[in-house]
Structure 1
Amino acid sequence: MNAGGSLVYDYVVFVLLILASFGVTIFGRISGPKEKTKADFAFAANNRVSVPAMMLSIARGFLGVRVFLGYPSELYYRGSAMWETLYGMILAYPIVCFFFVPVYYSLGITSVYQYLDLRFKSRLVRCLASGTYLLRSILNLGVTVFTPCVALKTIIGLPYWASISSVVAISIFFTVMGGLRTAIIADVSQLLVMFGCSMVIIIQGTVTAGGPAQVLNISHTEGRLQFFNWDMDPTIRVTTVSAIFGQLFMSLSIFGCQQNFVQRYCSMESQAKVTQTLLMNIPVMSILFSLSWVVGMVVFANYYMCDPKALGYINDIDEILAFYVEDRFYFMPGFLGLVMASLFNGALSLMFSNLNSLAIVMGEDFLFQIPAFKGISDNAQLWSIKILGAICGVMVMGVAFLVAHLSGVIEASMLMTSATSGPLLGVFILAMFFPPANWKGAACGMITSHILVLWLTFGSLTISKTPIANLPVSVEGCTNSTFSPNIPPLPPQSDPLWEEDWDSVDPVVNPALDDSNFLTSLYLMTYMYYSLLGTFITVIVGLFISLITVSEEDSYDEKLVHQWASRLYRWLPGKHKCFINDGSVEDPSTVSGGLDSCRIASVEKVVSYKNSGI
């Protein structure tokens, strides 16, 4: 649909920005300290990462291309309900800061899942957790890689195979070139470009819509701004309740238990800087998250009387932002190419950043546990991790191609991501806050939670659900001057679409209201609650199994449990156990010096763990 001359500019800008990404990565590789060991690769050589850069990298790790491309269309066609997930994210930051980070910051571990091995002395629990992370990340990255490819194919005409292969190939190149420091540089540069594009769209769209007051008024009167829905019906896609609690547990799993985020925390010089970074990131995340929703308000204010999807200009709601840029920025040759490049580079930086973490987990939790790979040199470990990153990239590419050729895979993979958050968070809660928990309970809790939540997830895909209802749109205000000369003329007045009532929507009938089948009602539960449900199942089953399988072999290290949980545990009746110097299990009340001696011995035990290189 683009004019020929403008399309040339878009291609040129697109290619130049991709080349600029190479330049930034190579600059980061040349200018920074060299990575000689896996620790340098995992935690940035010499820990020379500033607080502002780390803040933007953490924000970028959560705000992917689906945020930039998907949230504007979400507000345009479905309203602001999903915006309220911001509440859960904000609540998650201080919890991670004061409850999760203090436990494993000073342990000197490369993979966060090593913590579970130290806490439960169980390779099984560690592998279950790291395997969950690997599965979730590969599925999620496959969708992340594919998402911008839709826009690239629709607007620029780049075929799926070319865009998917390019993203993966460049990401593998970046992974081989550098570790965490290079990933952070890529995150920051791509976030700044995406921020700049959003601001340009907001400013231009606000001016053409008649000003900020007009944008707000149109969004409000047309039902796009609806907040504080306290309906407790669990089958509603998203309400204020599910946004707070569902997103809280999902965010805790992501920010507190996911390798790519914990890896960034542990790369900082001190725990005080981690605290500063996380707390300062709350307003940064809030602004960046809200920016995409403001873009959606601006786009809607310009099209609310003449919807492009109703006229057949776009086929999918996620194409609305790309169409808007193509339509309204025809006077700025190359800007569409800039937006498309930011989408491409956004997927690229997320892919690169996550490949780094995936490779670390695969190496530390699986490859280096094989006897043949134990004791190899630091340089051999470093290159083994880079090769694993390349293998992970190929696996992600396979998932992306699968998404491109099969219907419904995107929704299924999103549900999978939600379903795996709960068991992962639950096992970390067991480890950090429940001293009596043992490896048997942790393993049974995770396995049970996975089975039940995945059964619920796949069960929800087998029933006939009411499609998500879009809010009303209109074509009443369409004229020949509505769209730019860059867009083909409007359909003729004889076209049946002009007679359709676009200003109304069919009422949504929830099958759960008329179906007494308990399983059907359960399957209709929104995926927003899957992480909460999975967490509670893991903790409850884990504690129950731990209490009925308790034995003299069970022990825990006080350094590996949050200090508040440890103090509370001392007030409970019964025999309290912990590690002491010789590794035996004792009742602290019988140890010379009591609890303080047990605690001191605990610290010494952790030091011995760190020195052993586990």
Structure 2
Amino acid sequence: MQSIIFDYAVFLLLIALSFAVLIYSKISGPKEQTKADYVFASKGSVSMGAMLLSIARGFLGVKVFLGYPSEFYYRGSGMWETLYGMSLAFPLVLYFFLPVYFNLGITSVYQYLDMRFKSRLVRRLASATYFIRSILNLGVTVFTPCVALKTVMGLPYWFSIILITSIAIVFTLLGGLRSAILADAVQSLVMIGCSIIIIVHGFFIAKGPLNVFEVTKERNRLDFFNFDMDPTIRVSTVSATLGQLFMSLSMFGCQQNFVQRYFSMDSQKQVEKALWLTIPLMIFLFSLSWIVGMVIFTVYADCDPRALGYISEIDEIIPFYIEDKFYFLPGFMGLVLASLFNSGLSILVSNLNSISTVAWEDFVSQIPIFKGASEKNQLLCIKSISVITGFIVMGVAFIVAHSSGVIDASQLMTSATSGPLLGVFVLAMFFPSTNWKGAAAGMISSHLMTLFIVIGSLSIAKVPEYLPVSTEGCTNTTFSPHIEPIFDVQYEQYKMSFINKTHDDLAFSSVLSSPEFKSSPKDDILTMLYSITYMYYSLLGTFVTVFVGVIVSYMTDLWSKEESTNEDLLHPMSLKVKSMCTGEKQRYVTDGKHNNGPSTLPMTNEAQPTPLSSVFTVKSN
């Protein structure tokens, strides 16, 4: 009883401290007098360390602490290899994306597409893609800490979801990007500390790191370098690397909330330094969560709590483990719960900031009644959009509560929306002869193709891919004294429900072996297409966008010399390749005056915030 009181006290105290950090940053930091101050944070107001932690946390999210350990425990190390794709993405973003649009002076990264294709349709398609993806992923972010709160405190999902989103809305109204970055940094440090404590204590219980490695290897949890090319396998080394590479490129190179962080730094060199330093930090944070999973699996290797009915969902294993093994440390559970709660909160706040900015710049500001709004009114509108978006995220979180796990839900949503977004930026930067018709057709085709596969996959019978777990080593002392035992009647009821839930012919014995992933017989092309793992959705989506975009652009005759493009909006490499392949001297435009007199290249009807001149000179390469 005393331990529970400590846990609640620590939980409430840390929630209060989060408010204190927000208020302190608002009082001590530069005043947010304009829209740019709120959106980007004042230049130099955020340290390099805080920025690194914020970028890493923005990508990994709350799932790094709760989702990945349970993924390892019940499915093995397959998803661990997504780290290869993540790490490869950073150098590519540095070389291909930053040189093109870092100094454009824009508030929405999708303004770049407007400038490149001179089309609001393409810009809005990209913005809508980002908006939808962010909403879906934020639903996962909000739901993740709710799992722990339900497991330990008994709080129903609906209460936790409403609580987190409501507080996030208040945070968003009080502070901009600077507050969100500082909150990300603080929560990252707390989560790292909690993970290290769990690992060190787990090594002690499991008789050392060597035994942890041996047990996890013996029970087939360490399955690296699986180069099976079967596209229907949930995750292999190939799909993990390629799929995550395209997802990461889409996120770090084309997503507003990350590019927004780049723009808040003083110079491009600082951004480059930050991204290079993020690679080892990402590897450390990512691997830390998987080691936590290794430790917990070793401790419960012969007595799985889920097989016995102590937990019902795989993502509940972390909070159950802490409740079971850290009863001697009053307040630690409260610390972990508060960290999960605050982490979800800070990620939600920073993303609401980005989403509302995109919604304002690309949609709301074009409504006649809002045109010509003052800076103060623009800031008020952005905050109002944040409130509305927060309630939408709340609704999505309720839907996520019915998914099969936070990792599956997060990866599916990210992969399904990454292809069209990455593809249109690839078209813009590396295919000088593509036009807005091709870009729009490519994005729409990619979305329709991905949606077709996702909906079709729901018709394919699939059994969750869980590895074998055991109960043959359970004793009266396996769990801590304060963990209430499950009575025989309850156990028998859970046993039958577990059998029916997993598979009709699943035998319940001392070793529970959940069935391997199986799909319907691949007797036709559609069934094979529907069976493709979601890890490849981003790759397929990118390919379709680029392929259709190039073909449609060619068919609409953009290859004629009548069209000219500002070469500052293209990657230098694409200009050289174009010249080498065609043997033509392509006409581009640069700042200055037209060789036949002044000429203005129309961008859009909106007021342009970029430093690029509206008067260009046509030159030959």
What TM-score does the superposition give when structure 2 sets the normalisation length?
Answer: 0.91
Tell me, yes or no, if structure 1 residue 521 matches structure 2 residue 559.
Answer: no
1:479 counterpart (468, 472, 475): 475
Per-residue CA shift, 1:402-424, capped at 9, x if unaligned? 444x5679766753432111000
2:459 counterpart (447, 450, 462): 462
Structure 2 contact 415–537 (Cα < 8 Å) conserved: yes
After superposing on structure 2, the runs of 4+ consecutive aligned residues of structure 1 that deviate more than 4 Å are 406-414, 490-499, 580-584, 611-614
Determine the C-alpha separation between the residues in 2 that align with 1:506 and 1:374. Answer: 58
Q: Which residue does the alignment assign to 1:531? A: 538
Shift of 1:183: 0.9
SS in 2 for 1:424: helix
1:144-163 aligned at under 5 Å gives the runs: 144-163=141-160
Shift of 1:380: 1.3
1:197-212 aligned at under 5 Å gives the runs: 197-212=194-209
Per-residue CA shift, 1:456-480, capped at 9, x if unaligned? 1111012212x12311111121111
Q: Which residue does the alignment assign to 2:504? A: none
SS in 1 for 2:341: helix
Instruction: Kindly indicate which of the two structures has a greater share of residues assigned to helix.
Output: 1
Tell me, yes or no, if structure 1 residue 560 matches structure 2 residue 569.
Answer: yes
Determine the C-alpha separation between the residues in 2 that align with 1:132 and 1:527. Answer: 17
Single out whichever of 371-380 and 17-26 deviates more from structure 2: 371-380
Determine the C-alpha separation between the residues in 1 that align with 2:166 and 2:362. Answer: 25
Per-residue CA shift, 1:338-396, capped at 9, x if unaligned? 11111111110110010010011011111112232222211111111111111111111
Determine the C-alpha separation between the residues in 2 that align with 1:511 and 1:261. Answer: 37
Q: Which residue does the alignment assign to 2:100? A: 103
1:501 counterpart (505, 509, 520): 509
Identity fraction in percent: 58
Shift of 1:46: 2.9
Per-residue CA shift, 1:561-595, capped at 9, x if unaligned? 111112222332346232356897xxxxxx69xxx
Per-residue CA shift, 1:27-62, capped at 9, x if unaligned? 111111111111111111133222211111100101
Determine the C-alpha separation between the residues in 1 that align with 2:489 and 2:379. Answer: 65
Cα distance change on mapping 1:329 and 1:248 into 2, 3 Å: same
What is the letter of the counterpart of residue 420 of structure 1? T
Determine the C-alpha separation between the residues in 2 that align with 1:239 and 1:320. Answer: 24
Q: Which residue does the alignment assign to 2:502? A: none
Single out whichever of 258-267 and 143-152 deviates more from structure 2: 143-152
Cα distance change on mapping 1:325 and 1:62 into 2, 3 Å: same
Q: Which residue does the alignment assign to 2:64? A: 67
Determine the C-alpha separation between the residues in 1 that align with 2:221 and 2:517. Answer: 21
Structure 1 contact 76–300 (Cα < 8 Å) conserved: yes
Single out whichever of 489-498 and 318-327 deviates more from structure 2: 489-498
1:84-103 aligned at under 5 Å gives the runs: 84-103=81-100
Determine the C-alpha separation between the residues in 2 that align with 1:65 and 1:206. Answer: 24
Tell me, yes or no, if structure 1 residue 542 matches structure 2 residue 549.
Answer: yes
Cα distance change on mapping 1:492 and 1:442 into 2, 3 Å: same
Tell me, yes or no, if structure 1 residue 252 matches structure 2 residue 249.
Answer: yes
Structure 2 contact 43–265 (Cα < 8 Å) conserved: no
What is the letter of the counterpart of residue 180 of structure 1? L
Determine the C-alpha separation between the residues in 2 that align with 1:368 and 1:284. Answer: 38
Tell me, yes or no, if structure 1 residue 311 matches structure 2 residue 308.
Answer: yes
Q: Which residue does the alignment assign to 2:355? A: 358
Structure 1 contact 130–365 (Cα < 8 Å) conserved: yes
Cα distance change on mapping 1:148 and 1:251 into 2, 3 Å: same
Structure 2 contact 104–612 (Cα < 8 Å) conserved: no
Per-residue CA shift, 1:306-335, capped at 9, x if unaligned? 111111111111111100000000001111
Determine the C-alpha separation between the residues in 2 that align with 1:432 and 1:260. Answer: 20
Structure 2 contact 412–535 (Cα < 8 Å) conserved: no
Determine the C-alpha separation between the residues in 2 that align with 1:583 and 1:524. Answer: 56
Shift of 1:492: 5.1
Shift of 1:502: 4.5
Cα distance change on mapping 1:201 and 1:462 into 2, 3 Å: same
Determine the C-alpha separation between the residues in 1 that align with 2:61 and 2:325. Answer: 24
Structure 2 contact 56–281 (Cα < 8 Å) conserved: yes
Determine the C-alpha separation between the residues in 2 that align with 1:303 and 1:492. Answer: 21
What is the letter of the counterpart of residue 252 of structure 1? L
Cα distance change on mapping 1:477 and 1:421 into 2, 3 Å: same
Alignment root-mean-square deviation, CA: 2.7
Per-residue CA shift, 1:426-459, capped at 9, x if unaligned? 0000001110010000000000000011111111
Per-residue CA shift, 1:85-126, capped at 9, x if unaligned? 000000001001111111110000000000000000000000
Structure 1 contact 33–46 (Cα < 8 Å) conserved: no
1:339 counterpart (332, 336, 339): 336
1:322 counterpart (312, 316, 319): 319
Determine the C-alpha separation between the residues in 1 that align with 2:489 and 2:38. Answer: 62
Shift of 1:150: 2.0
Uncovered stretches (5+) of structure 2, i.e. residues with no partner: 497-506, 615-621
Cα distance change on mapping 1:458 and 1:579 into 2, 3 Å: same
Determine the C-alpha separation between the residues in 2 that align with 1:81 and 1:524. Answer: 18
SS in 2 for 1:87: helix
Q: Which residue does the alignment assign to 1:610? A: 610
Determine the C-alpha separation between the residues in 1 that align with 2:422 and 2:124. Answer: 15
Shift of 1:218: 1.1
SS in 2 for 1:45: coil
SS in 1 for 2:432: coil
Q: Which residue does the alignment assign to 1:579? A: 589
Structure 1 contact 235–524 (Cα < 8 Å) conserved: yes
Structure 1 contact 473–502 (Cα < 8 Å) conserved: no
Determine the C-alpha separation between the residues in 2 that align with 1:315 and 1:409. Answer: 11
Number of aligned residue pairs: give it. Answer: 594
Determine the C-alpha separation between the residues in 2 that align with 1:509 and 1:390. Answer: 41
Single out whichever of 101-110 and 388-397 deviates more from structure 2: 388-397
Determine the C-alpha separation between the residues in 2 that align with 1:550 and 1:126. Answer: 21
Shift of 1:159: 2.5
Q: Which residue does the alignment assign to 1:588? A: none
What is the letter of the counterpart of residue 579 of structure 2? R
SS in 1 for 2:226: coil
SS in 2 for 1:579: strand
SS in 2 for 1:489: coil
Uncovered stretches (5+) of structure 1, i.e. residues with no partner: 585-590
Structure 1 contact 416–454 (Cα < 8 Å) conserved: no
Cα distance change on mapping 1:209 and 1:439 into 2, 3 Å: same
Cα distance change on mapping 1:506 and 1:35 into 2, 3 Å: closer
1:291 counterpart (288, 295, 314): 288
1:408-447 aligned at under 5 Å gives the runs: 415-447=412-444
Q: Which residue does the alignment assign to 1:587? A: none
Determine the C-alpha separation between the residues in 2 that align with 1:205 and 1:117. Answer: 53
Determine the C-alpha separation between the residues in 1 that align with 2:330 and 2:490. Answer: 34
2:370 counterpart (359, 368, 373): 373
Tell me, yes or no, if structure 1 residue 232 matches structure 2 residue 229.
Answer: yes
Structure 1 contact 416–457 (Cα < 8 Å) conserved: no
Q: Which residue does the alignment assign to 2:138? A: 141
Determine the C-alpha separation between the residues in 2 that align with 1:546 and 1:583. Answer: 28
Structure 1 contact 111–360 (Cα < 8 Å) conserved: yes
What is the letter of the counterpart of residue 135 of structure 1? I
What TM-score does the superposition give when structure 1 sets the normalisation length?
Answer: 0.92
